[in-house]
Chains A and B, each alone.
Chain A
Amino acid sequence: MKKESLGSLFWDRFRQNSLAVSGGVIVVCLFVLAVLAPVFSPYKPNDIDRNYILAPPDMRHPLGTDDLGRDVLSRMIYGARISLAVGFVAVGIATLIGIAFGAVAGYYGGWIERIIMRFIDIMLTIPTFFLILAVIAFVEPSIWNIMIVIGLTGWMGVARLVRAEFLSVKERDYVMAARALGASDIRIIFRHVMINSMAPVLVSAVLGIAGAVLVESALSFLGIGVQPPTPSWGNILTLGKDNIEIAWWLSVFPGLAILITVLGYNILGEGIRDSIDPRLREAGRR
């Protein structure tokens, strides 16, 4: 019963925040678009329309065609799949690693905490984008590798967050009580402490998806992310840059899609945070 009422409290607050709801709507729309890509796209993403090469937007191709005569709208709809998949998997990996490190550091303390925190400091010192590029130089640039690399380089924030939550919660009476009752470390970590740190982790994960979408599109734009002919918003933008003098539509529309997606996740993330705990409203993002 308690859990339900907490959930409905959250839902009530969330519903009243019109900005947060619009963020949610954007994200849901993207999901539907990605899952039902074959239904929505007027053409197959790799279909070539020979007589319409670099054609500007018109009735036949609403967002124009690229240098091979492929329909940009269709490619963008299929591109939504890539950015969704990368966002979720990369952040999933980062969150799991972050929780593991953060929980161990926060719960056990001592030298193990010092080592983990120092490791985090060092990881934060190396410019993330350099780190990602350096790893990608030595693996095949595939969507799976991109997800893994973004995940492996993005867990430090979550780890810090979880550790801080653990530090503030682990000395509370109810945790002491659980320990006195003989609960194991694992049980205390997962059943009693972790539950309390889930809200900030959820918020940071939603905001993290936005970051992962940006990184993926940047990598694909540079030509070391998702490889053509698989369509991604980033690699359509590469064509935009190559044809910047003659085809503005290749530069404008995919970027707009990235902007709306990232904006959607950001608004949703902040909305969830405000609904979980209004006191956090004006707190910084990092």
Chain B
Amino acid sequence: MLAYLAKRLLEMIPTLFGITLISFLIIHLAPGKPTDALSEMNPKMTPEARERLEKYYGLDKPVMVQYGLWLKRIVKLDFGESFSMDRRPVMQKIWDTKQPITERRLFITFMLNVMAMIIILLVAIPIGISSATHQYTLYDKITTTTVFVGFAMPSFWLALLLMLLFGVYLDWLPISGLKSMNYDALPFWGKVIDRVRHLVLPLFVVAFSSLAADSRYMRSSMLEVIRQDYVTVARAKGLPEKAVIYRHAFRNALLPLITLIGLSVPGLIGGSVIFENIFGIPGMGQLFFNGVMARDYPLIMAILTIGAFLTLIGNLLADVGYMLADPRIRTGQ
């Protein structure tokens, strides 16, 4: 098991290298120089000043040399200075050490996705199992149809509809931000309730789209497993149906789902741009979007790399989960 883990970790290194190379090349092969954005904002920029600037960022050197220099810096988690007005280090924007940890952008996005993932698992797995064990019943048909529609639902439209219903017409929930203006004045429980109220809609939206795919997947995986011989054997020897489903079938049906969850990590991270934008959540997705609008290229490269890194971690965790669920891999067969 340890050997397998070590092998997976080693395999991550060339991938990580490739990720940095692609993020770098995308920005540098794109038409227009990165410093264009800076000079556009400042009409007084002379050609000499621009040259100085390019020298400062190392843009006068060959692309591969620049890549080497950039790589050397990002190993130390130094992503350079942002191109925006405040010129803060990119890393400070993503992970602001002056703020409490709950206010840091990367943390906010990460926690939202983790919470969404937990909700997805808690809901998708039971739905998938029950619609598989009740195949072709009305319940199964209703969930299957809902899931099919849910799959086609644009998440940003769902967000708009929920904002319209719960925010505007019913006026039950706030539609923007992570906390109210008077947050600091609230007592402890008031703070907790305020947070939860702000999180309900974004979490629902994030969870919904994956929920559809995952429960569908769980259903088909379960359907496949309950037709296997060992499930019939378990039934034949008189085990109660609950034990058959949850002890014998469930663990094997879970395996493909673990892979799917690993694969859905990039989608979740990428989707954070959309829902953070809609709900005004100050996370990494919103920062990335602002960076794109301002052509803030050190920031864009940094977040591309971090996003891919998080995906790699997600895949690794999925592998570990797979290993824990499947003894064949654990014993190295």
Interface residues of A (CB under 8 A from B): 118-119, 121-131, 133-139, 210, 214, 217-218, 221-222, 224, 237, 240-241, 244-245, 248, 251-252, 254-255, 258-259, 262-263, 266-267, 282-286
Contact = CB atoms under 8 A, between A and B. Distances in A.
B208 interface: no
> 7 smallest A-B Cβ distances: which pairs?
A129-B270, A255-B157, A138-B30, A127-B270, A262-B152, A122-B18, A127-B266
Residue among B151, B152, B292 with the highest chain A CB neighbour number at 10 A? B152
B54 to A, nearest CB: 16
Interface string B280-324: 000000001101110101001001100110011001000000000
B31 A128 contact: no
A119 B292 contact: no
9 contacts: A127-B270, A130-B269, A137-B293, A138-B27, A217-B154, A244-B167, A248-B164, A248-B168, A263-B149
B253 to A, nearest CB: 12
Interface of B: 14-15, 18-19, 22-23, 26-27, 30-32, 148-149, 151-154, 156-157, 160-161, 163-164, 167-168, 175, 213, 216-217, 220-221, 223-224, 256, 260, 263, 266-267, 269-271, 273-274, 277-278, 288-289, 291-293, 295, 297, 300, 303-304, 307-308, 311-312, 315
B149 A131 contact: no
B152 A118 contact: no
B154 A258 contact: yes
A125 B289 contact: no
Contact of B154 (A214, A282, A283, A284): A214
B161 A126 contact: no
A136 B278 CA distance: 19
B267 A125 contact: no
A22 B177 CA distance: 41
A221 B311 CA distance: 25
A131 B304 CA distance: 7
Nearest to B265: A127
B23 A259 contact: no
Contacts of A119: 18
Contacts of A118: 14-15, 18
A259 B161 CA distance: 13
B31 A125 contact: no
A222 B23 contact: no
A250 to B, nearest CB: 9
A245 B164 CA distance: 8
B305 to A, nearest CB: 9
Contact of A129 (B27, B31, B274): B274
B156 A136 contact: no
A138 B164 CA distance: 34
A210 B269 CA distance: 20
Nearest to B17: A122
Contacts of B221: 284
Given A122-B19, A218-B154, A284 B220 contact: yes
Contacts of A126: 19, 22-23, 266, 304, 307-308, 311
Given A131-B304, A137-B295, A259-B154, A222 B15 contact: no
A138 B167 CA distance: 36
Contact of A136 (B27, B157, B270, B292): B292
A160 B213 CA distance: 20
Give the residue among A119, A130, A131, A137 with the most B Cβ atoms within 10 A: A130
A208 to B, nearest CB: 14
A138 B273 contact: no
Contact of A222 (B217, B269, B274): B274
A237 B256 CA distance: 36
Contact of A134 (B32, B152, B164, B292): B292
Contacts of B293: 137, 224
B289 A222 contact: yes
Contacts of A125: 15, 19, 266, 308, 311-312, 315
Contacts of B27: 134, 138
Contacts of B288: 130, 133
B30 A139 contact: yes
Given A135-B26, A251-B160, A286-B263, A127 B269 contact: yes
Given A125-B315, A128-B266, A134-B304, 11 more contacts: A126-B311, A127-B308, A127-B311, A134-B26, A137-B292, A221-B156, A224-B292, A244-B167, A251-B164, A259-B149, A285-B216
